[in-house]
Amino acid sequence: MSTGDLFESSRAATSAMRAQAQRLRLISENIANADTPGYRRKTAPFEQVVEQGRPTNEVRLGPVQLSRAELDRVHAPGHPLADESGHFSGSNVDLVIEIADAREAQRSYEANLKLYEQTRQMSRSLLDLLRR
Amino acid sequence: MDVRTSLAAQGYAATRPAVGANAVPDGPAGALAATARDFAATVAEGEAVAKAAMVGQADPHALVQALAESQLAVETAVTVRDRVVEAYQEILRMQV
C-alpha cells in the first residue's frame, strides 16, 4: 500500500503544497512588516528532501534568508528614530514584489492540488475496475 | 511541528517482530499476509497522524495525505474481500 507510483506522486504533490503554504506565510510576514523600521525581507529557497542520505522526490522549504538589499530611507524629521538629516531606515519590502510572489505561490499550490486530485481519481478508477 | 507520515509506519515496522513471531510462508499466502500487514500499517499511520492533527502537532497537509491513503487502503481491502466472498459463494452454489 505504501509504495507505488500513484502514492509517490500524491506524496510529492502534498510536500509541494506544504512548501507553498510555508512560502505564503513568509510573504504575509513580509507584508505585515512592510512599515516596520529596519525590517529585512524574508525569503527561503526550495530544496529536495533527503531521507537517510538519499534524495527523495519531495520538496521542502530551506532555511530562511534575510534580503541584503538596501533599506528604504524614509524622510520624517519628527520621527523618534530620525537622524540629523531627518531620515530613518524603513524596511526593504516591496509590496508589488510580495503580491506577485503571493500570486505565484497560489498558482503553484493550485497546480499541485490539481495533480493530487488527479492522482486520487486515477487510483479510484483503477479500483473501480475490480467492482464490476 | 511537522509529523512525518513515514514516522508512524517506521515505528509500526520496528515493533512488528515483537508481535508476530510466525515465519511468513512463501508464495501467494506470504504475499497475502504481507499485503494485509501493509494495509494495517497504512491504517495505523492514518490514525496516528489524525490524532497528532487533533492536538495540533501535524499540519493539515499531512492529515489529508494520511487519511486519503487510509481511505484508499480500506476501499482496496473491502473490494478484494467482496470479490473473495463472491467467489466462495459461487463455489458453494455448485451442483455436486
Residue with cell 512548501: A19
DSSP per residue, chain A: ---SHHHHHHHHHHHHHHHHHHHHHHHHHHHHTTTSTT---EE--EEEEEETTEEEEEEEE---EE--SPPPEEE-TT-TT--TTSEEE-----HHHHHHHHHHHHHHHHHHHHHHHHHHHHHHHHHHHHH-
Task: Note if the pTM is more than 0.95.
Answer: no
Q: Which residues of A touch B6 (CB under 8 A)?
A: 51
Which A residues 28-67 touch B at CB under 8 Å?
Answer: 51
Residues of chain B with C-beta less than 8 angstroms from the C-beta of A124 = 72, 75
Please give the ipTM for the structure prediction: 0.75
Q: Which residue of A has its CA nearest to B35?
A: A1
pLDDT digits (tens, 9 = 90+) for A90-129: 899 999 999 999 999 999 999 999 999 999 999 899 888 8
* Residue pLDDT, tens place only, B15-69: 666 555 555 567 778 888 888 888 889 899 999 999 998 898 888 999 999 999 8
Q: Min CA distance, B31 vs chain A (Å)?
A: 12
